[in-house]
Amino acid sequence: MSINRIVRIACLAGIAGFSAGVSPAALAAEEVTLYTTREPGLIKPLLDAFTEKSGVQVKTLFVKDGLAERVATEGANSPADVLMTVDFGNLIDLVDKGVVQPVKSDALNAAIPANLRDADGRWFALSTRARVLYASKDRTDLKSFTYEDLADPKWKGKVCIRAGQHPYNTALIANMIAKDGAAKTEEWLKGVKANLARKAGGGDRDVARDILGGICDVGLANSYYVGLMRSGAGGPDQVKWGEAINVILPTFEKGGTHVNVSGAAVAKNAPHAANAVKLLEFLVSDEAQELYAKANFEYPVKAGVKADPIIASFGELKIDPAELTAIGKNRKAASELADKVGFDN
């Protein structure tokens, strides 16, 4: 076979593949474009419900790192309408990079408590999650726990946690800096580091798996993973991981439980700004907030919507009073502290 022929066939195959992918049906009149760092599987049910209710089609792009950079470089012609992130730090990054616009909506302001949204409407939290303690059912018998306890030498060789540079842990460290200052937080981080049973790394669910596997006895991880594991959504193996742990809502010695948020903002150059607001308003409706609770096992932000029974079984959540913006500001310092004590080395 000659090179020419092969090249020709290859090109045709490629073009055929693409043209099959681009259908003219995309010319729907009402649409909204969503850039998100949330996994598509988690928000798909919410978006489907929105489309069914409003008739507005949602186009999505799931990005992990670089969402803000992509919107910023696309500039005035960016198709993005709604920007959605997990982790407050990523949300505030969007504001800092100037890629969002302020939104005035009575529906949003009524549904979301004031501490979970920007006073100028540049960002809105849509759900919250707590950083909780997973503790071995067999080997521990804890009734309560403080984050500070994790540095107690009695847990030496018994703590599992993901990387200190992961945004979930960075936010927790930032929260502690906001409360107690950098020096005390550094001491705490050193203490936790000394207690680690294995290198800091992996995912939150690995904490439960490692507890089941006897590698460690306690560890910090996000609340919703317990729901995903125990409900069977992650498959039969993960049910066993979820059943191997007790979950305790830890608090700071002087304060409450650290929570992080998932949230959204309307893009600065949104071509469909009205639909963007419509989508945000839908996401704080009772219907959508229940989906956040049931399908994603997150805490709804809207008062009156209940958390899933698995999550509610942890007890009453007492959120630490530190301001989200203060946590956001301390993020860089937190990340540097984790480096300084060599948390992930």
Partner 1 sequence: MSSRPPPRQMPRGAPERGWRLAGMAVALIVLAPILAIVAVASGAAEGVWPHLVAYVLPEAIRQTAILVAGVGILVVTMGTGLAWLVVAYDFPGRRLLEWALLLPLAMPTYIVAYAYLDILHPVGPVQSLLRAALGITSPRDLGFPDVRSMGGCILLLSFVLYPYVYASVRATFLVQAGGVVEASHSLGAGRFRTFLSIAVPLARPAIVAGTTLALLETLNDIGASEFLGVRTLTVSIYTTWINRGSLAGAAQIALFMLAVVMTLVVVERIARRHADYADAEPGRLKPKRLQGWAAVTATAMAALPVLVGFLIPVLHLCNEAYRRLRFAGFSHNLVDAIRNTASLAVVATVVTLVLATAIIVALRLAAQRGPREVRRVGMLARLASLGYAVPGTVLAIGLMVPLATIDNAIDAALRASLGLSTGLIFSGTVFALIYAYAMRFLALAIGGMEAGLAKMPLTLDDAARTLGAYSGGLIRRIHLPLLWPAMASAAILIFVDCMKELPATLLLRPLDFETLATQLYAEASRGTYEDGAVAALLIVLVGFLPVVGLARLSRHGFVRPRRSSSRRGSGTDSEIDGDLTAGPQPGF
If binding is defined by CB under 8 A, does position 329 make contact with partner 1? Answer: no
Window contacting partner 1 (CB under 8 A); options: 89-97, 107-115, 176-184, 284-292:
89-97
**Cα gap 181→104, rounded to integer Å:** 35
If binding is defined by CB under 8 A, does position 23 make contact with partner 1? Answer: no
If binding is defined by CB under 8 A, does position 332 make contact with partner 1? Answer: yes
* Helices (H) then strands (E): counts for the chain: 15, 10
Residues 133, 192 contacting (CB under 8 angstroms): no
Q: How far is the CB of 69 from partner 1 (least distance, A)?
A: 5
How many residues are present in the chain?
345
Q: Within 174-203, which residues bind partner 1 (CB under 8 A)?
A: 198-203
- First vs last Cα of the chain: how many Å apart? 54
Is 147 one of the annotated binding-site residues?
A: no
Give the type of residue at 300. P
**Cα gap 290→163, rounded to integer Å:** 31
Q: How far is the CB of 103 from partner 1 (least distance, A)?
A: 22
The dihedral built from the CA positions of residue 62, 64, 68 and 72, taken in this order, carries a sign that is negative
If binding is defined by CB under 8 A, does position 66 make contact with partner 1? Answer: yes
If binding is defined by CB under 8 A, does position 28 make contact with partner 1? Answer: no
Nearest 5°: the CA angle 196, 198, 199 is 95
Q: How far is the CB of 206 from partner 1 (least distance, A)?
A: 8
Residue 301 gets which letter from DSSP? S
Nearest to 284 by CA among 32, 116, 168, 119: 116
Residues 95, 325 contacting (CB under 8 angstroms): no
Window contacting partner 1 (CB under 8 A); options: 1-9, 256-264, 273-281, 285-293:
1-9
If binding is defined by CB under 8 A, does position 53 make contact with partner 1? Answer: no
If binding is defined by CB under 8 A, does position 3 make contact with partner 1? Answer: yes
Q: Within 231-270, which residues bind partner 1 (CB under 8 A)?
A: 233-238, 240-241
Q: How far is the CB of 20 from partner 1 (least distance, A)?
A: 7
Nearer to partner 1, 118 or 210 (CB): 210
Q: Within 209-228, which residues bind partner 1 (CB under 8 A)?
A: 209-210, 212-215, 225, 228
Is 225 one of the annotated binding-site residues?
A: yes
